[in-house]
Amino acid sequence: MTSPTAILLISCPDQQGLVAKIASFIYSNGGNIIHADQHTDFTNGLFLMRIEWQLEGFNLPRDAIAVAFGAIAKPLAANWQLHFSDTIPRIAIWVTKQDHCLLDLLWRQQAKEIAATISLMVSNHSTLQSVAERFDIEYHHIPITKTNKAEQEAKQLELLKDRKIDLVVLAKYMQILSSEFVEEFPNIINIHHSFLPAFPGANPYQRAYERGVKVIGATAHYVTADLDEGPIIEQEVVRVSHRDSVADFIRKGKDSERLVLARAVRLHLQHRVLVYGNRTVVFV
């Protein structure tokens, strides 16, 4: 199981023979499938699949797989991605002042629950610089004001490009990214501290308390130009009661935030999430 694998994520208009064609492509080249999962969205006539096979014994060299599969995918009008399990992605974590999601991700990375290099930290504050130092991670304090946002985002994008970052994780980064930024760098996961679409925007725990809800939650989603409207990857809730103050909501919510964000990042890094429209298929 620890030998490297290839992972294919594919979506295309539904038609007969898709599973047969894709599976036969792998089999005819000597591949051993270890995971295959598909979903058909009948409303939209869309076929979505994740298929993973061992590279050991596969007759095509790695750099020839994409070309070979492209020939099959083209007549299917398919969108597809090819990944290799031994490619270690590079993550940037963006924070403001709260450390719970950050420390949780760092711990999981060290415990090998998350297979990635955490290469970069960006913050609009200097509060968590010492954490970066302890874990030996490059840290950039990039304060955002009303007037400097465009130039600071340019600096951020430059960093992401230069450090070859594959994924940005907003681990309680309390700034809104511009739609230009998101368009330029779309691989961003955010953790929002409510079960969306309830309480989008600021202060969700305060508002949840005022509304008198009996459950609170957290939502991990891809970031799009519309605030808190991106495709949801994972959600979790926790019960609260009248005995819980806003401070208790925040404390309990932090545990949900940590879990939900960590799960979403792990699913993304294992190439288990396919976005279509504003929705996700999560192959688990």
Q: State which amino acid sits at residue 92.
A: A
117 binds a second copy (CB under 8 A): no
97 binds a second copy (CB under 8 A): no
Binder among 142, 198, 225, 227 for a second copy (CB under 8 A): 198
CB burial of residue 85 (10 Å; 0-12, 13-18, 19+): middle
Which of the following is catalytic: 104, 166, 228, 244? 228
Question: What are 244's two structure tokens?
Answer: 């819980």
User: 3-state SS string over 117-166?
Assistant: EEEEEEECCCCCHHHHHHCCCEEEECCCCCCCHHHHHHHHHHHHHHCCCC
- Cβ distance to a second copy smaller for residue 82 or 275: 275
28 binds a second copy (CB under 8 A): yes
Q: How far is CA 78 from CA 118, 176, 225, 274, in A?
A: 32, 33, 25, 13
Instruction: For residues 181 and 165, give the distance between their C-alpha atoms in angstroms, rounded to a whole number.
Output: 14
Rounded to a whole number of angstroms, the minimum distance from the CB of residue 252 to a second copy is 10
- Cβ distance to a second copy smaller for residue 165 or 273: 273
Q: How far is CA 123 from CA 27, 120, 129, 178, 181, in A?
A: 47, 10, 9, 16, 16
Residues that contact a second copy, how many (by CB under 8 A):
65
How far, rounded to the nearest angstrom, does the alpha carbon of residue 105 sit from its chain's CA centroid?
13
19 binds a second copy (CB under 8 A): yes
Task: Please give the residues from 226 up to 245 whose contact with a second copy meets the rule CB under 8 A.
Answer: 231-237, 241-243, 245
Nearest 5°: CA angle at 232, between 16 and 37?
A: 30
Rounded to a whole number of angstroms, the minimum distance from the CB of residue 261 to a second copy is 12
Binder among 81, 197, 203, 226 for a second copy (CB under 8 A): 197
202 binds a second copy (CB under 8 A): no
Catalytic positions are 228
- In the complex, the residues that contact a second copy under the rule CB under 8 A are 1, 16-21, 23-24, 26-28, 30-43, 99-100, 103, 107, 111, 113, 134, 195-199, 210-215, 217, 231-237, 241-243, 245, 251, 255, 259, 278-282, 284
